[in-house]
């Protein structure tokens, strides 16, 4: 029988997450979504710089479901308000911890980039000249 993830389980073996997986988890932090809702939320949040196609999105959802980072929601809107082919997804407690761990990992990287002044107006301004 498959062992369910517990609150004590360490999220670090699952890091780093793919960019798409992280976007999906972030979109599910606030509310449950169906596939098209996820796609729209990601596009709007990133001002259209990140777009995920239907096949890629469901492949990503399949892997997140297998890792128990998300789950399929059984309670759905009334059939007259929604298409029954739509599937809704929700972030699990373990998924939230993995997303938080990934955010912390990225924060450390950004802090380091800032310390190296990569985020300045003119990155590389203070570089020492390389020997010829």
Partner 1 sequence: MSGVQRAATILLCFYPKDFRREYGAAIVQLVCDQRRALGDASAYHRLSFWMSVVLDTLRAAFVEHRSAIQLRRVSTATVYAFIGTLLVLAAVANVLVDVVAVKLSMGIPAVLLTVAAGTSGAGLIVRSRRATRPK
95: nearest Cα among 1, 14, 3, 20 = 14
| Residue 54 contacts residue 35 (beta carbons within 8 Å) | yes
Instruction: Kindly tell me which residue out of 46, 58, 77, 104 binds partner 1, with binding defined by CB under 8 A.
Output: 58
Instruction: Compute the distance between CA of residue 94 and CA of residue 71 in angstroms, rounded to an integer.
Output: 11
Residue 9, classified by CB atoms within 10 Å of its CB into exposed (0-12), middle (13-18) or buried (19+), is: middle
Site string for partner 1, 67-106 (x = CB under 8 A): ----------------x-xxx-------------------
d(CA 4, CA 109) in angstroms, rounded, equals: 31
Is residue 128 part of the contact set for partner 1 (CB under 8 A)? no
Alpha helices, DSSP H, located in 67-127: 93-115
- Residue with smaller CB distance to partner 1, 35 or 117: 35
| Total interface residues for partner 1 by CB under 8 A | 17
| Strand-pair partners of 70 | 91
Binder of partner 1 out of 13, 48, 53, 131 (CB under 8 A): 53
Q: Which stretch binds partner 1 (CB under 8 A): 59-67, 95-103, 108-116, 124-132?
A: 59-67
Binding marks (x or -) toward partner 1, 29..48, rule CB under 8 A? ------xx--x---------
Tell me whether residue 62 or residue 111 sits nearer to partner 1 (CB atom). 62
Instruction: Return the number of the residue (5 or 43) whose C-beta is nearest partner 1.
Output: 43
Enclosing H/E stretch for 24? helix 19-30
């Amino acid at each position: 029988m498959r062992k369910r993830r517990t609150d004590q389980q360490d999220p670090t073996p699952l890091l780093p997450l793919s960019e798409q997986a992280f976007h999906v988890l972030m979109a599910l932090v606030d509310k449950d979504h169906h596939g098209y809702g996820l796609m729209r939320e990601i596009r709007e949040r990133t001002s259209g710089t990140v777009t995920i196609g239907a096949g890629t999105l469901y492949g990503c959802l399949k892997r997140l479901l297998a890792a128990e980072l998300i789950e399929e929601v059984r309670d759905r809107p009334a059939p007259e308000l929604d298409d029954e082919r739509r599937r809704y997804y929700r972030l699990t407690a373990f998924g939230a911890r993995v997303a938080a761990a990934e955010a912390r990992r990225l924060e450390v990287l950004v802090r380091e980039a800032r310390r190296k002044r990569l985020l300045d107006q003119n990155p590389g301004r203070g570089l020492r000249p390389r020997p010829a």
